[in-house]
Amino acid sequence: MNIKLEQYKIFNEAASTLSFSLAARNLFISQSAVSQAIHALEKELNTQLFIRQSKGVILTKEGALLYQQISHALSLITSAENQIVNQHELTKGELTIGAGDTLSQNYIMPYLVKFNQLYPHVTIKMVNRTSLEIINLLKTGQIEIGFINMPLHDEAITIQECLQVHDIFVSKEKDNKIYNLHELSQESLILLERSSNSRQFVDYHFASHGILLKASIELGSHDLLLDAAKNNLGKACVIKEFSLSDLNNHLIHEIQLSHPIPKRSIGYAYLTRKTLTPASLKFIELIEN
């Protein structure tokens, strides 16, 4: 069969109005174009769809059956088209993101605020997990974008760097001493839990100099590290970029190291072979800009 969707749309309008002239007016085409489309459809289906009368038309039994199904099908197509338009215009949709607590609070939140201002009708779903857990969430389709500590390699995932951070040690009291790594390791240290990627990065730096780093206090969040340092519980390892307010207000002071911890990168990740939703693309646009 060589029936065009446009023929079905014309048939649907004629069947709903029971008038070729009204159908032509509603579709902004000529009445002869309606008649030709219906004739072609009847010829292709080898059946009569309308009975012509002096005042309009009525559906045959076959025409009524076709109208019932075509009306429903066209309604589904229109609904799908509207959903796609809404998503592209972001009048609807969902943004699903995964990130650790520290990144969520100190880096991603301002972008979420901006995104919400621009697209208030898009639902935002945020989950907090470690980098490895975020990769699994991406692969199982539970999130579309994940923020992770780099480097992390997975053939199924595309990762783009979006931020560089510096791990530093801070204390409540100003200390002008320049510590070597061994000297610092002998101090009372406040560190993140050993399972975190950030902690492992710092541990690796010390280990590369032959030093096993041990914590006097282990905590589960960056904010707690800052609070512990400000309460003079020891020297805390924090992210400099996320501690600038306390540093600038002299609530804590950076400790100088003879071998500073190298900078590290944060990246956003997504499934390589999956087409991102318009909401995700707009959020990435905010991040990149």
Domain boundary pick from 57, 88, 119: 88
Euclidean distance between CA atoms 171 and 250, whole angstroms: 10
Any residues with CB less than 8 A from the CB of 194 and at least 6 apart, and which? 200, 203, 215, 218
Euclidean distance between CA atoms 144 and 269, whole angstroms: 8
Report the candidate in 172, 138, 168, 81 with the shortest Cα–Cα distance to residue 267: 138
Q: Are residues 128 and 195 in the same domain?
A: no
- At 4, the pLDDT band (50, 70, 90 cuts) reads confident
Q: Are residues 254 and 190 in the same domain?
A: yes
Domain boundary pick from 33, 68, 88: 88
Predicted TM-score (pTM) of this structure: 0.67
Average pLDDT over residues 120-138: 91
Q: Are residues 239 and 195 in the same domain?
A: yes
pLDDT tens digit string along 5-51?
899 999 988 998 899 998 898 888 999 999 999 999 999 999 999 99
Predicted pLDDT at 255: 97
Average pLDDT over residues 167-176: 96
Q: Are residues 256 and 171 in the same domain?
A: yes
The CATH number of the domain where 62 resides is what? 1.10.10.10
Predicted pLDDT at 20: 92
- At 196, the pLDDT band (50, 70, 90 cuts) reads confident
Q: Average model confidence (pLDDT) for the chain?
A: 91
Euclidean distance between CA atoms 93 and 114, whole angstroms: 16
The number of distinct structural domains making up the chain is 3
Q: Are residues 110 and 80 in the same domain?
A: no
Domain limits for position 228:
167-262
Average pLDDT over residues 224-247: 97
